[in-house]
Amino acid sequence: LRTALRPLSRVPWRPRLGFAPMSTETVAPGTTHIGWIGTGVMGVSMCGHLINAGYKATVYNRTASKCDALVEKGARLASSPREVAAAADIVFTIVGYPSDVREVIMGEQGVLNGLRPGGVVVDMTTSEPSLAVEIAKAAEAKGAHALDAPVSGGDVGAREARLSIMCGGERAAFDRVRPLLDLMGTNVRHLGPAGSGQHTKMTNQILIATNMIGVVEGLLYAQRAGLDLTETIAAVGAGAAGSWSINNLGPRIVARNFEPGFFVDHFVKDMGIALDEARRMKLSLPGLALAHQLYVALQAQGEGRRGTQALALALERLNGSKTAE
């Protein structure tokens, strides 16, 4: 028998309505138990806001000592992501790389092997859109729900609960966890089906990547011209050239503070994902490619664990000068 071949659909994957029941329990301190996996520069502050709001938390990090601050606030330390999920209604993850996301959510000791039906896993790592779709399908198969919800705002935004949070996934799941997201960010948005949050974060990273080149080159120019860099940042940062990067990272560059709000290594990973997605979409992004190469050079110079503002070091070495007063 001959079977007619149908063209592949280009419609984004969406869960089958009604397959995974959504809990009707109101999210509130005292009734909702949260799980948190990943307590690095960003995660420790983000989870801290939820605990401060009265939520009970179970936490996990590969380096257990990084959970100490949260345990002091009352969190319970778990020995695996699976143990976290078994104790929680809603689990948040924010780890380093897509491979880490896959392991902590879909591994043998991962979240989906512990999460109860109707539960929600919210991945806040910047990761691959295709992996977000895969996780959503795997969660649905277990009667649970998944959101991809990467963030922007750096360590300052995390500490001050002023993050921008970009969410993809089922609207009902988003609406359920929204009260928790509002405790971590001031700009919380649902962008569409699974993977949409990650695509939005790629857009964010593309904007930042090329902007950072401008920030560093502008400061190098101002330094060579003999300007006061602090006054220059105050002047241009309030005008059309103003950006989060010049106003927040510019002063760090001037102060020679290259401690990470966001690691160079992780930024290179993000740009690589964006370039891969652009290539898949047959999209040429030469500015992003240039920024990626400059940051790879910074890695090669041994600066991968610095903050993204350390791009100044790579361009200073090209020019034989420093962006410092």
Kindly name the residue from 73, 137, 142, 201 that is annotated as catalytic. 201
CA 204 to chain CA centroid, nearest Å: 10
Whether the Cβ atoms of residue 290 and residue 311 lie closer than 8 Å to each other: no
**Residue count (the chain):** 325
Termini Cα distance of the chain: 79
Residues in contact with 11: Cβ distance below 8 Å, sequence separation at least 6, in sequence order: none
- CA 213, CA 264: separation in Å to the nearest integer? 14
313-to-44, 56, 84, 218 alpha-carbon distances in Å: 28, 43, 40, 14
Both structure tokens of 309: 């503002």
- CA 55, CA 254: separation in Å to the nearest integer? 40
The angle at the Cα of 190, spanning 188 to 195, to the nearest 5 degrees, equals: 120
Whether the Cβ atoms of residue 194 and residue 169 lie closer than 8 Å to each other: yes
Backbone angles phi, psi at 194, to 5 degrees: -50, 135
User: Is 201 among the residues known to form the active site?
Assistant: yes
Q: Is the dihedral of CA 284, 288, 294, 299 positive or negative?
A: negative
Both structure tokens of 306: 């610095």
- CA 226, CA 305: separation in Å to the nearest integer? 31
> Which residues are tagged catalytic?
201
